Structure 1
Amino acid sequence: MQSLNSQFDLLGRLIDATEVRHRVISNNLANVNTPNYQRMDIEFEQQLAKELARPSDPRGHPSIRAQPEMILTPGLTSRADGNNVDIDREIGQLNKNAMMQQTYVQLLSTYLEQMKLAIQG
């Protein structure tokens, strides 16, 4: 079982990653009409999954070091101006990311409330 510290750390990293992804998506939207602009995203979840699959440290805590990395999104079709940003896709990704962040914040809030209740008795 993960300790509360590792759960807080995990949720904190997930919230941080959604904040970075929000900035990247906003940048994509700001550049939707910029010639030759290529869509960016972040890679985080795959790194995190690999870290969580590794054995824990000697105390049984998973070592979470994953950081969001900006990447060009491969395989997208570019328009005639060389730009490959699809505004509908970006708005959908922005909404999905906002829901993920809201979920992580709510989980963190629930953990904190449980801790508060446990301390108060």
Structure 2
Amino acid sequence: MKLFDQTMNTLEQSLNYATKRNAVITNNIANVDTPNYKSQDVVFKHALNDEISKLETKRTHPKHIPFLEDNEPFRTITKKNTLYNHNQNNVDMDKEMSDLAKNQIYYRSLIDRMNGKLSNLQTVIRGGR
């Protein structure tokens, strides 16, 4: 018997994504004045799978780690194709602050949804009271 439905699993994965994205954005903000620092972002794996599938990879031994297996549905990428500062740094502070605010709203909405699901479970356990 499953105690939680697929919604809780999706919420958990979404919270993991939002947490990772928050860490990456705050790292970008912290390195805004670091010379040669390249900003990073968190993207969903399916966006990368199209590009990765074009690469030819081959496992020559059964003990080699498979190339595409990963438990997280997202990855951290480094943005190398832009340049905003004279010190070779590409962190756009306005964009990072905007992304941070959006991510915090997203995270809070996920927490509210999860609290609602757990509140429903608590109501059922108490017999509807």
TM-score interval, normalised by the smaller of the two chains: 0.7 to 0.9
Tell me what 1:37 maps to.
37
Of 76-85 and 88-97, deviating more is 76-85
Query: Quick one: distance in 1 between partners of 2:40 and 2:101?
Result: 16
Query: Quick one: distance in 1 between partners of 2:80 and 2:102?
Result: 20
Query: Quick one: distance in 2 between partners of 1:4 and 1:74?
Result: 41
TM-score normalised over the length of structure 2: 0.70
Tell me what 2:8 maps to.
8
State the shift of 1:6 in Å. Answer: 1.4
State the shift of 1:75 in Å. Answer: 4.7
Tell me what 1:73 maps to.
79
Structure 2 gap ranges (5+):
50-70
Instruction: Kindly indicate which of the two structures has a greater share of residues assigned to helix.
Output: 1
Query: Quick one: distance in 1 between partners of 2:89 and 2:33?
Result: 7
User: Aligned Cα RMSD in Å?
Assistant: 2.2
Highest CA radius of gyration, 1 or 2? 2
Q: Is the 8 A contact 2:84 2:92 kept in 1?
A: no
State the shift of 1:67 in Å. Answer: 3.1
Q: Is the 8 A contact 2:25 2:96 kept in 1?
A: yes
Percent identity, aligned pairs only, is 27
Tell me what 1:86 maps to.
92
How many residue pairs align between the two structures? 103
Structure 1 gap ranges (5+):
51-64
TM-score normalised over the length of structure 1: 0.75
Runs of 4 or more above 4 Å deviation: none
